[in-house]
Amino acid sequence: MLDAAMVFAVLVAAIWVGESEYIEYNTTQRIVPDKINVHMVPHSHDDVGWLKTVDQYFVGANNSIRGACVQNVLDSVISSLLEDKNRKFIYVEMAFFQRWWRQQSKAMKIKVKELVNAGQLEFINGGMCMHDEATPHYIDLIDQTTLGHQFIKDEFGKVPRVGWQIDPFGHSAVQAYLLGAELGFDSLFFARIDYQDRAKRLKEKTLEVIWQGSKSLGSSSQIFTGIFPRHYDPPDGFTFEINDVSPPIQDDMLLFDYNVQERVNDFVYAALAQANVTKTNHIMWTMGTDFRYQYANSWFRQMDKFIHYVNQDGRVNALYSAPSIYTDAKYAANEYWPLKVDDFFPYADHPNAYWTGYFTSRPGLKGYVRVMSAYYQAARQLEYFKGRNETGPNTDALADALAIAQHHDAVSGTERQHVASDYALRLSLGYEEAERSVASALASLVNQRLSLHGVNLATDFQQCPLLNISYCPPSETTLVDGKSLVIVVYNPLAWKREDVIRIPVSSFTGNLFILFLVGVWYALYKMYSITSKSTVAALFHLPVDRVSTAHVFVRDLAGNKIESQLLPLSNATLTMRRHYVRAYKGKAPGSDVLKYWLAFPVSVLPLGFSTYKVTSCDQSCHSSTISKMYRPEGSTDKSIKVGQGNLMLLYSADEGKLTHYVNSRTLVTASVAQSYSYYSGNDGTDKDPQRAQKSHIVSPSSTKKCPICSKIATKPKKEPKNDWAFFRSGRCSTLLPK
């Protein structure tokens, strides 16, 4: 009898007799001086929110919208890098990397640190997100970048060298010099420039330039800038995600469709085509695009083969590289580069596709981001004054939320609605925590001060983030029974400042309510403030005499009376308040008992605060002046003059339109008109479907503008303190403070 083991071994061998040999791919290639060097830069462009929220992208949820899971990217990239030390990868968005890093074991963290130290994994750009360049404030850009760079420094001891703004829709001068050169970056890379500009640069080999974005800082603000020949994806036919359609290299002779020579030829032709539009013998292939490398081996396997076979072929030199290596090679080439000044706005990728709509898209979110930005600035000051509380409440969550909100599909307004809601949710959560931090910081400051005046305060404060729609429960409360409303105003600017603040007050008169001792605190948002980043006010109740809010007066802490004015709340504001308070808080704001804005001037020292008391009084006291209505209808004047200071605006009495601007101090007199119009969005049903109005793109259906307000109801209120011109028609209202 046969030995069974022998028999079965033979049977197996019979089946596998056609086995092909293991091929060890040579991926060791480095730069070769005399050849075209194809720097293959593996990357994944991971939007910190767009079609899905940042966390949905990270964990791979909501995949019916898009199969994208950043966890898979990082998990699989790391294991691919560990398999071959010649492989490289760059990572850009620290919001994602942080999420991933938190979840790793100690052993994995050690391995990843080794990859970083070996240059296999390189952080570039390195902010929390790849921020937008058109719609964020530069302070937000600095903050979000600092947050990411601090993380990289703390965890890895590394400093990113390269700016990688590959996707934003146009590029700003500030990006080039401030978020580029001033960060210590050696280079900046991106993809999107105007199609006409690109065509010219391709022709003239000027896609790579030295960009001097600052008019002020001269050559010290220059940065080497590379614009990709087409986009941030690989040349056609070289994308290798699991379901991509590029033909993989099939180098197993025993299988059908062996294609090594054909694919090597494709590679060489694509490289030569790019070399033809690129200075020096170094070209970069961005090997990746949105949310790629979800199974990294699918890419690296092909790149290994390309590097192996292309270098065997020898016509060009293919290597794993990174933008930093590429930059060094460009630098070493000792070339002259054209100088670029100013910026890359606006961006069009097509004759009818100007990406200028997103400058305005989602103005509600844009406003919210800006308000939060200013609040964050002030809150950090106060947090510092009191001493930061590591375990919270602190400003960290707001910092994260704001950083993510700078993403080029966040504040830009180009994300899906549910994602925009997610950004707003994160901001509001961050705000809530910061609000508590501010409340406690300011309470401690105020109490130090008030104790000098022998006053003792409750330390619980309220702030009013919805002041712009006249929602501020603590100020709306009827002041009775000897209680005062105390307002603390914080000035985050470093110079002394005088300004007018407004708070909504109740219309009840003479009613006697018992008020509890409640500390309240609100933030005041001044929509007309241009120079100030923010004004923060705090208010709370003190026991005072019985009052009615129609008869209130304002005193400073020393007891000096401050002139104040009551302005009626417009229906437009009250309508907004009803709807938006409910949308924001989940409950109705209560009955509309408000009738007035109480306005009064405040004076606050740099980085300081002032305290004011609002007290009700009986009919006889010298209370706040109630604004009087001026009705132009009965007037014989042809024009209405508004303004009691140097500046005066003139409105036509019959049409209610602004006609003139007069400054009696500077002697400037100008005729001026102002009105509202709208462009009809193009639905793309004409010959060019690109013209459909999308969130990125402005493309009016025609150049004709449609006026909204033809006949304007004008209600100027003439009073000693403030002139307010209020205009209203069916769809728009304007409040011009002066």
Partner 1 sequence: MGDDFQYQYAESWFKQMDKLIHYVNEDGRVNALYSTPSIYTKAKNAANQTWPLKTDDYFPYADRANAYWTGYFTSRPALKRYVRMISGYYLATRQLEFFVGKQSTKYNTIGLGDALGIAQHHDAVSGTAKQHTTNDYAKRLAIGVSEAEAVVSSSLACLTSNLSSDQCSAPASAFAQCQLLNISYCPPTEDSIPDAKSLVVVVYNPLGWKRTDIVKIPVNDANLVVKDSLGNNLEVQYVDVDDVTTNLRKLYVKAYLGVSPKQAPKYWLLFQASVPPLGWSTYFISKATGKGTRTEDISQLSSQKGETIIIGPGNLKMSFSSTSGQLKRMYNSRTGVDIPIQQSYLWYGSSEGDSDPQASGAYIFRPNGSPPTIVSRSVPTKIIRGPLVDEVHQNFSSWIYQVTRLYKDKEHAEIEFTIGPIPTDDGVGKEVITRMTANMATNKEYYTDSNGRDFLKRVRDHRDDWPLQVTQPVAGNYYPLNLGIYTKDKKSEFSVLVDRATGGASIIDGEVELMLHRRILHDDGRGVGEPLDEQVCVDNNKICEGLTVRGNYYISIDKLGTGARWRRTTGQEIYSPFLLTFTHENLNSWKSSHVTKGTIMDPNYSLPPNVALITLEELDGGIVLLRLAHLYEPSEYAEYSTLTKVELKKLFAKKTIKELKEVSLSANQEKSEIKRMTWKVEGDNGQGPQGLRGGPVNNPNLVVELGPMEIRTFLLKF
The residue ranges that bind partner 1 (CB under 8 A) are 1-2, 4, 6-8, 10-11, 13-14, 17-18, 60, 69, 71-72, 75-76, 242, 256, 294-295, 298
Which pair of structure tokens corresponds to residue 510? 């003479």
| Cβ nearer to partner 1, comparing 79 with 360 | 79
| Distance between CA atoms of residues 476 and 611, nearest Å | 18
Q: Could you tell me the smallest distance in angstroms from the CB atom of residue 245 to partner 1? A: 15
CB neighbours (10 Å) of residue 645?
Answer: 10
Q: Could you tell me the smallest distance in angstroms from the CB atom of residue 68 to partner 1? A: 12
SS3 for 602-619 is: EEECCCCEEEEEEEEECC
By DSSP bridging, strand 565-568 and strand 625-626 are parallel
| Distance between CA atoms of residues 487 and 432, nearest Å | 20
On the 0-12 / 13-18 / 19+ scale of CB atoms within 10 A, 642 is: buried
Task: Report the phi/psi class of residue 469: left, alpha or beta, with left for phi > 0 and alpha for psi in -120 to 50.
Answer: alpha
Amino acid at 163: G
| Cβ nearer to partner 1, comparing 104 with 444 | 104
On the 0-12 / 13-18 / 19+ scale of CB atoms within 10 A, 176 is: buried
Q: Could you tell me the smallest distance in angstroms from the CB atom of residue 15 to partner 1? A: 8
| Cβ nearer to partner 1, comparing 241 with 433 | 241
| Cβ nearer to partner 1, comparing 9 with 159 | 9
| Cβ nearer to partner 1, comparing 91 with 211 | 91
Q: Could you tell me the smallest distance in angstroms from the CB atom of residue 297 to partner 1? A: 8
| Cβ nearer to partner 1, comparing 298 with 548 | 298
By DSSP bridging, strand 647-652 and strand 658-663 are antiparallel
Dihedral angle computed from the Cα positions of residues 255, 261, 263 and 267, in that order, rounded to the nearest 10 degrees: 160
Instruction: Give per-residue burial for 568-597: e unless 16+ CB within 10 Å, then b.
Output: bbbebbbebbbebbeeeeeeebeeeebbbb
Q: Could you tell me the smallest distance in angstroms from the CB atom of residue 164 to partner 1? A: 25
Q: Could you tell me the smallest distance in angstroms from the CB atom of residue 426 to partner 1? A: 24
| Cβ nearer to partner 1, comparing 14 with 530 | 14
Beta-carbon contacts of 701 under 8 Å, excluding residues fewer than 6 positions away, are 679, 680, 681, 682, 683
| Cβ nearer to partner 1, comparing 69 with 130 | 69
Q: Could you tell me the smallest distance in angstroms from the CB atom of residue 244 to partner 1? A: 12
Q: Could you tell me the smallest distance in angstroms from the CB atom of residue 228 to partner 1? A: 28
Q: Could you tell me the smallest distance in angstroms from the CB atom of residue 64 to partner 1? A: 16
| Cβ nearer to partner 1, comparing 75 with 122 | 75
| Distance between CA atoms of residues 414 and 50, nearest Å | 7
Calculate the alpha carbon distances from 448 to 452, 458, 494, 539 in Å. 7, 12, 21, 16
Calculate the alpha carbon distances from 192 to 195, 200, 214, 344, 694 in Å. 8, 14, 20, 9, 17
Instruction: Look at the block and give the residue holding tokens 């925590």.
Output: 433
Q: Could you tell me the smallest distance in angstroms from the CB atom of residue 289 to partner 1? A: 17
Calculate the alpha carbon distances from 335 to 106, 209, 277, 281, 330 in Å. 45, 11, 15, 11, 8
The radius of gyration computed from the CA coordinates of the chain, to the nearest angstrom, equals 32
Q: Could you tell me the smallest distance in angstroms from the CB atom of residue 298 to partner 1? A: 8
| Cβ nearer to partner 1, comparing 9 with 494 | 9
By DSSP bridging, strand 187-190 and strand 162-164 are parallel
Q: Could you tell me the smallest distance in angstroms from the CB atom of residue 266 to partner 1? A: 22
Q: Could you tell me the smallest distance in angstroms from the CB atom of residue 2 to partner 1? A: 5
| Cβ nearer to partner 1, comparing 4 with 670 | 4
| Cβ nearer to partner 1, comparing 303 with 542 | 303
| Distance between CA atoms of residues 259 and 238, nearest Å | 14
Q: Could you tell me the smallest distance in angstroms from the CB atom of residue 4 to partner 1? A: 5
Dihedral angle computed from the Cα positions of residues 208, 213, 217 and 223, in that order, rounded to the nearest 10 degrees: -30
| Cβ nearer to partner 1, comparing 298 with 381 | 298
| Cβ nearer to partner 1, comparing 72 with 470 | 72
Per DSSP, the residues of 701-736 read: SSS--EES-SS-EE--B--SS--EEEEE-SS-EEEE
Handedness of CA 694, 700, 701, 706 (dihedral sign): positive
Q: Could you tell me the smallest distance in angstroms from the CB atom of residue 233 to partner 1? A: 20
CB neighbours (10 Å) of residue 720?
Answer: 10
| Distance between CA atoms of residues 207 and 279, nearest Å | 9
Which pair of structure tokens corresponds to residue 17? 């007799």
SS3 for 19-56 is: CCCCCCCCCCCCCCCCCCEEEEEECCECCCCCCCCHHH
| Cβ nearer to partner 1, comparing 60 with 163 | 60
| Distance between CA atoms of residues 93 and 121, nearest Å | 13
Which pair of structure tokens corresponds to residue 734? 């304007």
| Cβ nearer to partner 1, comparing 2 with 558 | 2
Q: Could you tell me the smallest distance in angstroms from the CB atom of residue 401 to partner 1? A: 27
| Cβ nearer to partner 1, comparing 256 with 516 | 256
| Distance between CA atoms of residues 55 and 698, nearest Å | 30
Q: Could you tell me the smallest distance in angstroms from the CB atom of residue 86 to partner 1? A: 22
Q: Report the chain's terminal Cα–Cα distance, integer Å.
A: 110
Map residue 697 onto helix, strand or coil: coil
